[in-house]
Amino acid sequence: MEKRTILVIDDAADVRRLLAFHLKQKYNVLEAGNGEEGLRIIDQTPPDLVILDINMPKMGGLELYRRVSSETGKPPFPIIVLTVREELGIIFRDLDVDGFITKPFNVSAVIEEVNGVIARRYDKKEEKESELSKRPAKILLVENDRNAFNNIVIAFLNAGYIVNSAKNGMEAIEKILIDLPDLILIKLGLDDIPGDIVCAKLKQMPRTMNVPVILYMPYSASLDSVVEKKICERAGTELIESNSPDILLKEVERQIKKSK
Amino acid sequence: MLLDRKRALAELGIPEEMYNELLQDFVAETESALHNLFEAIQSGNREEIASSAHFIKGSSGNLRIDDLYVLAKEIEFDARTNKDTAVMAQNASKLKASFEELKKII
């Protein structure tokens, strides 16, 4: 099978050299030191994936993204953004990309991310499915109440799940983009971004749109049915009106079974 | 420790020879970035301070030179949040001293 082509666009020569050293074992690697050079290479040799830095002289990553997306609104190839942690929020708001790596990066995390994105975009679906059936499912729990959090985590760990956690919407988004979970369990009432808004954004992004999301809230007798309907429409998912670990566990099991 | 070579090699997964070459490139580029940083602090140009510090932060972080990374990160943050340039000058002097130490051991 012909090797796929990865284009690394970063103004730091050491980053390009480090990534090229590792990626060349499996891929053809092209390099550009800024967005302008990157566009020229893309015109001559369309890549299968682009690793893109954001802060670069001449033309930065956001401008390159805009240029390559001008025809259809989306880039014609998957993009993994290399960025500092502080910029994740801006990038999440403005771009639909396939992956994020925060700097200073861990080389093995980059290689894993590249392999994962290539497999998701180009390889057979069955490979992904068989990988999930071999290991315990990884859940991201987004809950801001300590007691509820403890109860839910204990139930899920006892049931054999791997549980990662976040206490608010922004932390959840960062964690989801860095380490994609198999399922997201998110509370509606968070302190920063409401859970339904986080769900809506995740449904729009290619990288996260197929990850099952369960939105829940503690039972409230006063929840208006019209309000509930609006929340569900916005979130693109049902709202579970309970934070009981047993009920959430059953719902998660149902969703995981469905996604396999 | 200014430079934990063993950890850097393990985390970057590259041969020692390549790491040494990257360090030499880092030294050459950082000489010029430090020069720009001091000039920018002198003239109070925060954009330029942040840009030079950002460069040093990125390269030192990639090569796992932690002391330089932490100081450069602080200077960049201070420049972007309008902190007093005297604080940045102090950190830039510490950065320069660590950099001179690094040159002796590589």
Name the residue ranges covered by the structural domains of chain B: 5-105
Query: Residue B19 contacts by C-beta under 8 Å, 6 or more apart in sequence?
Result: B5, B8, B9, B12, B63
Name the DSSP class of B4.
Answer: -
- Are the CB atoms for A236 and A199 separated by under 8 Å? yes
pLDDT at A126: 43
Do residues A253 and A136 both lie within one domain?
Answer: yes
- Provide the token pair at A160: 């054999």
Phi and psi torsions of A52, nearest 5°? -125, 125
Whether the per-residue pLDDT at A64 is higher than 70: the answer is yes
pLDDT at A157: 92
pLDDT at A92: 62
Q: Which CATH superfamily is domain B5-105 in?
A: HPT domain (1.20.120.160)
Contact yes or no for A12 and B62 at CB 8 A: yes
- Are the CB atoms for A89 and A170 separated by under 8 Å? yes
- Provide the token pair at B93: 């002097």
Do residues A79 and A174 both lie within one domain?
Answer: no
Of A123, A140, A175, the one marking the end of a domain is: A123
pLDDT mean over B41-56? 94
Of A123, A143, A160, the one marking the end of a domain is: A123
Do residues A113 and A146 both lie within one domain?
Answer: no
Q: Which of B12, B13, B58 sits opposite A12 (nearest CB)?
A: B58
Question: Mean pLDDT of all residues in chain A?
Answer: 86
pLDDT mean over A245-249? 93
Question: Mean pLDDT of all residues in chain B?
Answer: 93
Q: How many domains does chain A have?
A: 2
User: What's the burial of A122, exposed, middle or buried (CB within 10 Å: 0-12/13-18/19+)?
Assistant: exposed
Beta-sheet strand order (sheet of A79-84): A28-32, A5-9, A49-53, A79-84, A99-103
Query: ipTM above 0.90?
Result: no
Q: Domain range for residue A59?
A: 5-123
CATH code, domain carrying A93: 3.40.50.2300
- Provide the token pair at A52: 């893109």
Do residues A45 and A167 both lie within one domain?
Answer: no
pLDDT mean over A155-169? 92
pLDDT at A57: 82
> Which range, A56-60, B35-39, B55-59, is most confident?
B35-39
pLDDT mean over A64-90? 81
d(CA A115, CA A123): 10
Q: Which of the four pLDDT bands, split at 50, 70 and 90, describes residue A91?
A: low
B58 touches A: beta carbon within 8 Å: yes
Do residues A166 and A134 both lie within one domain?
Answer: yes
pLDDT at A147: 92
Whether the per-residue pLDDT at A85 is higher than 50: the answer is yes
d(CA B66, CA B56): 11
d(CA B31, CA B24): 11
pLDDT at B44: 94
d(CA A135, CA A131): 7
- Are the CB atoms for B23 and B5 separated by under 8 Å? no
Compute the nearest-CA separation of A52 from chain B (Å): 15
Do residues A110 and A148 both lie within one domain?
Answer: no
> Between A and B, how many residue pairs show a Cβ–Cβ distance under 8 A?
37
